[in-house]
Structure 1
Amino acid sequence: MRFGKIEYINLLPFDVFIKAYPATSGFKKFLQLKKSYPARLNKDFLFQRIDAGFISSIAGYSSARKHKATNSAIIAKGSVWSVMVIPAPQAQDYQSATSNALCKVLGLQGEVLIGDRALAYRYLGGAHTDMGEVWYAKTHLPFVFGRFCFNTHRDFYQKISTHFNQKPIKIPHYILMQYAQKTSISKQYILEYLKHIYYKMGPKEKLGLQRFYHALLLKKIKKPARF
């Protein structure tokens, strides 16, 4: 069983959860080996080099249609702090297909910046437009940035999702300090950031995702594919 891992602060709660989850040593070892940014994991997932992972919403479209997606996701209801457009010449972020597409859907101009780099930029006071905030202002719906999808081992991954969604995860101090040192972002700021993100899909989240997919269709924005 091969799970691909996004190496961003927004999945710290899941990282803490999965380290303690009773799984085989092979699963845990692969988890540490296959770490990357969302767009790279999209390709690995579509080419079935990994069985599952938090896949960018735009790349998880087929999985959702085939009922190969769990009810765990990376979600924001309003401001998200780590998905933004900054005042610079128009440019995409190579790390995220979903955020690049969302920028087009929202009709925003500038450079797309996501993940820990975006959070660090905001932490230092950089001017920006928060795409989660703009989406919510236009739709009054949460935005699903990535969803826990799978190619195989349905029961195993659905069980992980169910357990993950059951209760909030407390992140140990030492892990927070590791990320604070790694990103030069304070521990308190990281904790405040994580308050803007949640992980359990419900009816409104699913409706928001469908609204995004409909917007992609209207604007003829292509989804990642194998061919």
Structure 2
Amino acid sequence: MLFGKIDYLNLLPFHVFLKRYPLSNQTKKSIEFKKGTPAKLCEDLSKRRIDAAIISSIESRNPKYTKLNLGICAKGAVKSVLVRKNSPKKLDPASKSSNMLGKILSLNGEIIIGDEALRQYIKDGGDKFYDMGEIWYQKTGLPFVFGLFCCNKNQNLYKKIINQFLKQKIKIPKYILNEYSKSRNIHPNMILWYLEHISYGIKNREKLALKKFISLSKKHNFHP
């Protein structure tokens, strides 16, 4: 089992779940070792350096991957996929999906994702940014799927893990919350507030949203 870990706050509940899940210590150490951005994990999965990861949703169109019902989703504002207003255009190399979404939504400016985006949102205020999850929802009435769980082996094992995760309400231990707060320089209460904007199950509306996103991306030749 070689699972690649997106080291962002948006997947903190899933990583807390994996810590408790009965996996070998070697496997858990491997997960911690194989960290990366969505774009980096796309490359690792494609080159089979890992056998599963939540990757940029635009890359999930690859027919060689098995797609499972876990993703990083938002129905409306997400607070961590942003475009800074009144700034020069600049893509974020960490996420192909966010760069593509910025083009689809005709948003010009600096694209910022992940924990750094959340940190800047809290520091500078929401009025300084376009929230791409919010604008997508306003235009389509659909949630947005920023990342999707894909694998190229061990499908049944990953499916079992995901099904158990989606059935549970994950409580983040205080010591873990404090560790992430310190390493990200974000107050624990703001981390919990942020996680209220994230969902993980890929259901019918998420599948419809992903299909629409891929279709619109094709019209832009998949290039951000």
> Does the alignment reach a TM-score above 0.5?
yes
Find the counterpart in structure 1 of residue 68 from structure 2: 70
1:31-50 counterparts in 2 under 5 A?
31-50=31-50
Could you tell me how far apart the structure 1 residues matched to 2:34 and 2:59 are?
A: 18
Aligned residues: 221
Find the counterpart in structure 2 of residue 110 from structure 1: 109
Find the counterpart in structure 2 of residue 7 from structure 1: 7
Cα shift readout 1:60-109 (whole Å, capped 9, x = no counterpart): 112xx557111111000000000000031101001111100110111100
Please state how far the C-alpha of 1:222 moved relative to its aligned partner. 4.3
Aligned residue for 1:159, secondary structure, equals helix
Please state how far the C-alpha of 1:128 moved relative to its aligned partner. 0.6
Find the counterpart in structure 2 of residue 22 from structure 1: 22
Structure 1 segments of 4+ aligned residues over 2 angstroms from their partners:
none
Aligned residue for 1:5, secondary structure, equals strand
1:1-227 counterparts in 2 under 5 A?
1-62=1-62, 65=63, 68-87=66-85, 88-126=87-125, 127-222=128-223
Identity %: 46
Please state how far the C-alpha of 1:125 moved relative to its aligned partner. 2.2
Please state how far the C-alpha of 1:163 moved relative to its aligned partner. 0.8
Could you tell me how far apart the structure 2 residues matched to 1:27 and 1:147 are?
A: 21
Shift in alpha-carbon separation, 1:67–1:48, aligned structure 2, 3 A: closer
Q: Is the 8 A contact 2:64 2:152 kept in 1?
A: no
Cα shift readout 1:122-154 (whole Å, capped 9, x = no counterpart): 010241100000000000000000011101011
Cα shift readout 1:172-208 (whole Å, capped 9, x = no counterpart): 1111111111122111111010000010111000000
Aligned residue for 1:124, secondary structure, equals helix
Shift in alpha-carbon separation, 1:151–1:67, aligned structure 2, 3 A: closer
- Give the TM-score normalised by structure 1: 0.94
Q: Is the 8 A contact 2:55 2:149 kept in 1?
A: yes
Give the alignment's Cα RMSD to 1 decimal: 1.3
Could you tell me how far apart the structure 2 residues matched to 1:215 and 1:45 are?
A: 24
- Give the TM-score normalised by structure 2: 0.95
Please state how far the C-alpha of 1:218 moved relative to its aligned partner. 1.3
Could you tell me how far apart the structure 1 residues matched to 2:200 and 2:129 are?
A: 25
The aligned amino acid for 2:31 is L
Could you tell me how far apart the structure 2 residues matched to 1:166 and 1:180 are?
A: 26
